[in-house]
Amino acid sequence: MRHGLTNYNRGMRIQGSIEAKLAAFGRKQARDLGKRLSDDRIDALYSSGMERAIMTAREIQKYHKHLPLRKIPELNERSFGVFEGVTISKARKSEPRLLAQENYVDYEFMPKGGESWKHVQTRAMGAIWQILKAHPNQTVAVVAHGGTNCVILASMIGLPLSKLAYFRQNNACVNILDVTGKKVRIALLNDTGHTISEY
């Protein structure tokens, strides 16, 4: 899943490693997400180490009180360095390599003080494979971030990082992956039928 809406999302600003709580509307999205998953079997619950993901995961945990919430910093959003807090339109004009251009992403570009998508892939996929190894044949819920989720989705199905822009991750969306060994099928992608998602 992706976390609920923040004010950075609403303002179309690059958030990255900036810590931000959910906006009021984002908290509603998180509650809607929790209700959507209330009757589902969940064997383990994880989130990134960032506040917006943790707040979203806590709404899921309310319906699965027996599950501890495990926070994994390796699932954090990409650090965009000096571009954090900048509007997406301004960042795109000043540094074309930072964000997607049509259906191509420069996954090796590293902004000053930040990470490349390749760095995100290394840390996030290391965490995902450890999680899967720890929970064979179980249903695991993971709450992370738009960019991180796109990296995970692409990596799991063998799509090159240059194609990250093929994916969209709305706030509080649900993705379902069926994983059997190294075989991965996308059963659901960017579903927001349980809530109103404006970004």
- Domain CATH code at residue 145: 3.40.50.1240
Q: How far apart are CA 194 and CA 1, in angstroms?
A: 12
Domain assignment present for 198: no
pLDDT averaged over the chain?
97
Give the number of domains in the chain. Answer: 1
Residue-range definition of the domain harbouring residue 54: 7-191
Residues 6 or more apart whose Cβ sits within 8 Å of residue 142: 1, 46, 47, 75, 128, 131
Convert the pLDDT of each residue in 37-81 to its tens digit: 999 999 999 999 999 999 999 999 999 999 999 999 999 999 999
**Which one-letter amino acid corresponds to residue 6?**
T
Residues 175, 1 contacting (CB under 8 angstroms)? yes
Domain assignment present for 197: no
DSSP string, 36-89: HTTTS--SEEEEESSHHHHHHHHHHHTT-TTSPEEEEGGGSPPP-GGGTTSBHH
> Encoding tokens for residue 48?
């990134």
**What pTM, to 2 d.p., does this model score?**
0.97
Convert the pLDDT of each residue in 142-191 to its tens digit: 999 999 999 999 999 999 999 999 999 999 999 999 999 889 999 999 99
What SS3 state is found at 2?
strand
Domain assignment present for 98: yes
Domain assignment present for 181: yes
Domain assignment present for 2: no
Residues 6 or more apart whose Cβ sits within 8 Å of residue 152: 124, 125, 128, 144
CA distances from 168 to 7, 58, 117, 172 (A): 19, 24, 16, 12
Residues 9, 173 contacting (CB under 8 angstroms)? no
Q: How far apart are CA 78 and CA 82, in angstroms?
A: 12
Tracing tokens 């965009």 back to the chain, one arrives at: 80
Domain assignment present for 1: no
